């Protein structure tokens, strides 16, 4: 792995970016009980404290980045529950990203086809809205043609099929391309105008959950905001940062900062916990570019989750009642990174007719972890099945989430409990749209 490369080695990257942070860990273990992978795998290399220790050792050259560090890091969900439990505020998210970057740097040469495919998708598909739209269109055609349900019923395949197959069956029906909202236009507020919101559409949200995006915009208008969907916006870059592709993440961040600055809006609203978390940490990407760091900091200040905006400008007026028990599963990144905990609950509790029940361990990751479920299907399913048992205890008929990754994962969970009472999985916005909008 030498060969006179001009790039920094993984070890050097770690020493530069993560060593100091890792040294802050006092190994008190306070993060152990909240870490889903430590609880499900039962060993320290799958605990936050264990991972941080290995990063430290790798930075010191005592263990190898690829041979020893990569697996424990790959098996982390990135849910960042550990950060909320840490009494000394070890910046785990930062350490994790640095570790991913170091692993990518070391792997570059000996990448497997899977890794290349993943990197290729992230590099060539997500940054480009048009290509994404094309992919989304294809997915729609595929579902229209009935191939989707064919797959769903092909039980014989399920036994040996890889993770993408299982998750594929959990996909909701996507909307026809011609029904999508146009970007760039300014949509007026309903009733007296209270301000302007710029909407961050997000790539997965926009392709797979376009209906949620439409409802988000409608709800924003419903509480008196005019809405613009900046045309030049791009993917938030979270997937890239989490897969160690920092340079791409920075490029996307710059594009988004420019696009939203130009919108003239008071708040930049998104509805995906994971994207929002990334957007809220843009300033950290630019430690070495002071001018951008400042612009990013101003951008960050305006980022809001849809639930915060609806509580602040609302409350929305309800037209209809909801039936049955609703439970809420926190999006880890909404809760642990964005620290939005109460607003979604407050909104759900206020829905007439609905019985809101606080689910045990609602703050514990569902095992989706960005694209963790794609990469580590078995580990993820173990965590998911535990989650579904807790859901079953509540007698809920509706399970609410606030992030597309969690949404798909929970749909998969609902599918897997065939036989028990049906469970609707909804984005918070879908539930609110149903009871608030015409």
Residues near ligand SF4 (CB under 6 A): 25-31, 35-37, 48-49, 51-52, 76-82, 85-86, 88, 90, 92
Q: If binding is defined by CB under 8 A, does position 66 make contact with another protein? A: no
Considering only residues 70 through 109, tell me which ones interact with another protein, judged by CB under 8 A.
71-72, 87-89
Region at 189 (left for phi over 0; alpha for psi -120 to 50; beta for the rest)? beta
* Choice from 1, 12, 40, 63 touching another protein (CB under 8 A): 63
* Binding-residue total with another protein (CB under 8 A): 28
CB of 9 to ligand SF4, least distance (A): 24
Identify what 77 binds: another protein, ligand SF4, none; CB under 5 to 8 Å per kind.
Answer: ligand SF4
Identify what 90 binds: ligand SF4, another protein, none; CB under 5 to 8 Å per kind.
Answer: ligand SF4
Nearest of 411, 363, 360 to residue 389 by alpha carbon: 360
* Choice from 1, 8, 19, 45 touching another protein (CB under 8 A): 45
Q: If binding is defined by CB under 8 A, does position 216 make contact with another protein? A: no
Q: If binding is defined by CB under 8 A, does position 231 make contact with another protein? A: no
Using the minimum distance from each CB to another protein, give the nearer residue, 12 or 68. 68
Identify what 171 binds: ligand SF4, another protein, none; CB under 5 to 8 Å per kind.
Answer: none
Q: 195 vs 144, 200, 276, 408, CA distance in Å?
A: 40, 16, 20, 33
CB of 231 to another protein, least distance (A): 43
Sign of the C-alpha dihedral, residues 65, 68, 74, 80?
A: negative
Binding part of the chain for another protein, among 45-53, 101-109, 148-156, 352-360 by CB under 8 A, reads 45-53
SS3 sequence, 143-161?
Answer: HHCCHHHHHHHCHHHHCCC
Which of helix, strand or coil describes residue 340?
A: coil
Q: If binding is defined by CB under 8 A, does position 378 make contact with another protein? A: no
Identify what 17 binds: ligand SF4, another protein, none; CB under 5 to 8 Å per kind.
Answer: none
Binding part of the chain for another protein, among 23-31, 145-153, 270-278, 366-374 by CB under 8 A, reads 23-31
CB of 24 to another protein, least distance (A): 6
Q: Quote the DSSP letter at residue 30.
A: T
Residue 138: CB atoms within 10 Å: 12
Cis peptide before 315 (omega within 30 of 0): yes
Identify what 110 binds: another protein, ligand SF4, none; CB under 5 to 8 Å per kind.
Answer: none
Instruction: For residue 226, list its beta bridge partners.
Output: 196
Q: Which residues have CB under 8 Å from 37's CB, separation 6+?
A: 46, 47, 75, 76, 77, 379, 383
Identify what 261 binds: ligand SF4, another protein, none; CB under 5 to 8 Å per kind.
Answer: none
Rounded Cα–Cα distance for residues 358 and 209 (Å): 25
Residue 113: CB atoms within 10 Å: 8
Nearest of 147, 210, 150 to residue 174 by alpha carbon: 210
Percentages (nearest 5) of helix, strand, coil residues in the chain: 55, 10, 35
What angle in degrees, to the nearest 10, is found between the helix axes of 92-107 and 48-59?
50
Q: If binding is defined by CB under 8 A, does position 361 make contact with another protein? A: no
Q: Which residues have CB under 8 Å from 191's CB, separation 6+?
A: 224
Identify what 187 binds: another protein, ligand SF4, none; CB under 5 to 8 Å per kind.
Answer: none
Block residue for tokens 């190898």: 64
* Choice from 19, 30, 142, 165 touching another protein (CB under 8 A): 30
Identify what 43 binds: another protein, ligand SF4, none; CB under 5 to 8 Å per kind.
Answer: another protein
Which residues would be at the binding site for another protein (CB under 8 A)?
Answer: 23-24, 26-30, 32-33, 42-45, 47, 50, 53-54, 57, 62-63, 67-69, 71-72, 87-89
């Amino acid at each position: 792995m030498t060969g006179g490369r001009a790039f920094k080695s993984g070890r050097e990257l770690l020493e530069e970016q993560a060593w100091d942070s890792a040294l802050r860990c006092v190994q008190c273990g306070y993060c152990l009980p909240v870490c889903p992978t430590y609880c499900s795998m039962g060993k320290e290399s799958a605990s936050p404290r264990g991972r941080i220790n290995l990063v430290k050792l790798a930075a010191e050259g005592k263990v190898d980045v690829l041979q020893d560090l990569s697996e424990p890091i790959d098996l982390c969900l990135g849910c960042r529950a550990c950060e909320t439990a840490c009494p000394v505020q070890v910046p785990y998210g930062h350490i994790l990203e640095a570790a991913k970057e170091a692993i990518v740097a070391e792997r570059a040469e000996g990448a497997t086809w899977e890794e290349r495919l993943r990197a290729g998708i992230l590099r060539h598909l997500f940054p480009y809205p048009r290509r994404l739209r094309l992919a989304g269109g294809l997915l729609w055609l595929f579902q229209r043609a009935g191939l989707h349900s064919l797959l769903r019923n092909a039980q014989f395949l399920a036994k040996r099929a890889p993770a993408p197959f299982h998750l594929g069956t959990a996909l909701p029906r996507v909307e026809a391309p011609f029904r999508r909202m146009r970007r760039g236009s300014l949509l007026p507020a309903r009733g007296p105008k209270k301000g302007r919101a710029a909407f961050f559409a997000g790539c997965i949200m926009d392709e797979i959950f376009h209906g949620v995006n439409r409802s988000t915009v409608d709800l924003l208008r419903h509480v008196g905001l005019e809405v613009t969907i900046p045309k030049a916006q791009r993917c938030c870059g979270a997937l890239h940062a989490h897969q160690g592709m920092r340079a791409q993440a920075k490029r996307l961040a710059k594009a988004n900062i420019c696009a939203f600055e130009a919108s003239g809006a008071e708040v930049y609203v998104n509805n995906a916990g994971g994207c929002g978390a990334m957007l809220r940490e843009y300033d950290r990407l630019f430690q070495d570019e002071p001018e951008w760091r400042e612009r990013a900091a101003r951008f960050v200040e305006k980022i809001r989750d849809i639930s915060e905006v609806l509580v602040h400008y609302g409350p929305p007026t309800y037209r209809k009642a909801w039936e049955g028990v609703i439970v809420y599963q926190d999006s880890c990144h909404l809760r642990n990174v964005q620290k939005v905990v109460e607003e979604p609950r407050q909104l759900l509790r206020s829905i007439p007719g609905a019985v809101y029940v606080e689910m045990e361990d609602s703050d514990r990751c569902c095992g989706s972890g960005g694209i963790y479920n794609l990469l580590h299907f078995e580990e993820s399913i173990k965590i998911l099945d535990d989650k579904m048992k807790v859901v079953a205890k509540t007698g809920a008929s509706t399970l609410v989430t606030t992030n597309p990754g969690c949404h798909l994962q929970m749909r998969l969970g609902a599918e897997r409990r065939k036989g028990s009472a049906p469970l609707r999985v909804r984005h918070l916005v879908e539930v609110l749209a149903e009871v608030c909008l015409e």
